Amino acid sequence: MPLVRIDLARGKPPAFRKQVGEIIYHAMRETINVPENDKFQIITEHAADEINVASSYLGNSYTQEILLIQITLNTGRTVEMKQALFKRIADDLHDELEVRREDVVINLVEVAKENWSFGGGVAQYAT
Amino acid sequence: MPLVRIDLARGKPPAFRKQVGEIIYHAMRETINVPENDKFQIITEHAADEINVASSYLGNSYTQEILLIQITLNTGRTVEMKQALFKRIADDLHDELEVRREDVVINLVEVAKENWSFGGGVAQYAT
Amino acid sequence: MPLVRIDLARGKPPAFRKQVGEIIYHAMRETINVPENDKFQIITEHAADEINVASSYLGNSYTQEILLIQITLNTGRTVEMKQALFKRIADDLHDELEVRREDVVINLVEVAKENWSFGGGVAQYAT
């Protein structure tokens, strides 16, 4: 159910981009109870000038390597679960891909459970 | 008012992509009362490795032809209307463009009616 | 905190795209109390056929120069603040970049304040 959009600058190999997605998927599995195979991710590369961010915000500095991650998911996760998710994504991207933790920016958009169709024209979570 | 994002892998002709948009527009017109000409659609093509999905989820299998459709629209549609919309989109994409029904993945994001400006700096639905 | 997606057709120089982002950032600063350096913007260029809009809606006519702007931000802005934001963005894009006001289409998506991590795996607004 989470639909994940990952936006980053051009220049990373496909294996890097794929691994970013996998890390986010596994972090969601382990911190916010996302079911197995519930993986719907859209990765978009951009020219450097198409990612327009300040050099720093709230004490975090950003580089050209910034990852902008927007996750649409069902409502119902607690603040603690969201915090665990953020930490896990940043930690694992850092540990496995050497991404700077400060370059990991995440936003969640919450929707109702009947707002999904995973194929076949059916709202699988509506019942 | 619906803002529709359609993400798919590269390789389809422009006429196919345009028709996907038109089918979604007409489905919205006929199932969830979207006004005429209320059509704001962004189609983005991706390298195959930029769409990262599992091979199947909840009994639906996915191919490289998967269409990821995210629709931002006003709150207020019933579950039944959403179900009708999902079915209609999948049916029509299948019937008119031979898209596999299982390759049609849809997500709705609902917002308040004052959250739109359709030009001119005015919130046309706010009043 | 606002995450801004700007989608437009190919053909504008990088300086134009950058300036669109800056204008939106300054409009948010001055109408809806966005903090300094809170600027997270993703600009995506599209082939002309990938932006699928009607020729007009609610009295606004659209050209190939249309700008589709989707802003994800925290809940809590009043209708009056949203109206001021829309007006300011359209006015400034017109005055500074000669964008037609009718070609400025904006959508807001509102989320809870704990739905953001601005780096470091921390939910900076959760406390």
H helix or E strand, kind and range, residue A87: helix A79-97
Residue A1's pLDDT is what?
82
Residue C70 · residue C5 · CB < 8 Å: yes
- What number is the average pLDDT over the span A83-89? 98
Q: Give the SS3 label for residue C56.
A: strand
Gap between the Cα atoms of A85 and B61, Å rounded:
27
Asked if the interface predicted TM-score (ipTM) of this complex is over 0.90, the answer is yes
Mean pLDDT of chain C: 97
- Phi first, then psi: what are they for C90, rounded to 5°? -65, -45
Q: Measured between CB atoms, which of B50, B53, B86 is closest to A123?
A: B86
At residue A33 the predicted structure's pLDDT band, cuts being 50, 70 and 90, is very high
Q: Measured between CB atoms, which of B47, B52, B88 is closest to A39?
A: B52
Residue C1 pLDDT exceeds 90:
no
DSSP C51: E
Crossing angle of the two packed helices B79-97 and B14-31, in degrees rounded to 10: 150
| Interface probe with C: pick from B10, B22, B117, most Cβ of C within 10 Å | B117
> Mean pLDDT for each consecutive 10-residue tract of chain B (127 residues)?
96 96 98 97 96 98 98 97 98 98 98 98 94
| Interface probe with A: pick from C8, C16, C42, C74, most Cβ of A within 10 Å | C42
Residue B127's pLDDT is what?
76
Burial of B13 (0-12, 13-18, 19+ CB in 10 A): exposed
Q: Tell me whether residues C40 and A68 touch, CB distance under 8 A.
A: yes
Residue A24's pLDDT is what?
98
Gap between the Cα atoms of B83 and A112, Å rounded:
13
Burial of B10 (0-12, 13-18, 19+ CB in 10 A): exposed
Q: What is the pLDDT of residues C72-101, one digit of tens each?
A: 999 999 999 999 999 999 999 999 999 999
Residue A27 pLDDT exceeds 80:
yes
Residue C62 pLDDT exceeds 80:
yes
Q: Give the SS3 label for residue A127.
A: coil
